[in-house]
Amino acid sequence: MNHPGTGAAVSSNPVARAYNSLITGLAVVAGAIFGLMAFFIGADVLVRNTVGGGLAWVIETMEYAMYVATIFAAPWVLREGAHVSVDVVTSNLPEGLRRVVSCFVCLLGSAICFVICYYSALATLKAFERGSQIYKTFTIPEWTISIFVPFGMLLVAIEFLLLFRGELRSPAHVSAR
């Protein structure tokens, strides 16, 4: 389900087309990551139960993979309305008030995502400057993991703004004025 005004429809604007391709591409990559996770977790269980001792790298790699896939999928999930939504209150509101609440929620969601984007970008930059490392099965620079948060939150914030724009442009909204 495409929300009106999200830019998910085919556009003649090259920036909108590139952005839509990015969101769709990230969702496809997320799906592939989830598929690979299922394969490698199954392989780890098979090796552990047949040969003994699992694949040492699988658990940690799957932790990172789940994190990255979730961040990559989040903008697309919001765009498609495929997230959990509790609308017991808003579904019983008059249309005009429902739209006001929807606009408020879109702006609030965008503001929250921009704040998270900002502070996670600062934390990522500090981790880079300090040379912080994560020591587990692998030793990796902390910033290579944390950089996904500001990137993902920026895209989710943009999606909230596109939903807001779609709500404002919706014909029912114009007639409700």
The owner of tokens 């591409």 is 25
CA separation for the pair 132, 146 (Å, rounded)? 11
Torsion sign over Cα 109, 112, 114, 117: negative
Least confident of 74-78, 83-87, 106-110, 133-137: 83-87
113: its two tokens: 């995502």
Which pLDDT score is estimated for 95? 86
Which pLDDT score is estimated for 8? 63
Geometric angle at alpha carbon 70, from 46 and 74, rounded to 5°: 150
Q: Are 65 and 33 in contact (CB under 8 A)?
A: yes
Burial of 87 (0-12, 13-18, 19+ CB in 10 A): exposed
The owner of tokens 């939150």 is 153
Q: Please give the helix or strand (H or E) that residue 128 lies within, else none.
A: helix 95-130
Mean pLDDT confidence for 21-25 = 96
**Percentage of the chain lying above the pLDDT 70 cut:** 90
pTM: 0.84
Torsion sign over Cα 130, 135, 141, 142: negative
Which pLDDT score is estimated for 13? 87
CA separation for the pair 120, 125 (Å, rounded)? 8
Least confident of 39-43, 57-61, 152-156, 168-172: 168-172
Which pLDDT score is estimated for 2? 43
CA dihedral 36→117→137→25, nearest 10 degrees, is 20
- pLDDT, the chain, mean: 89
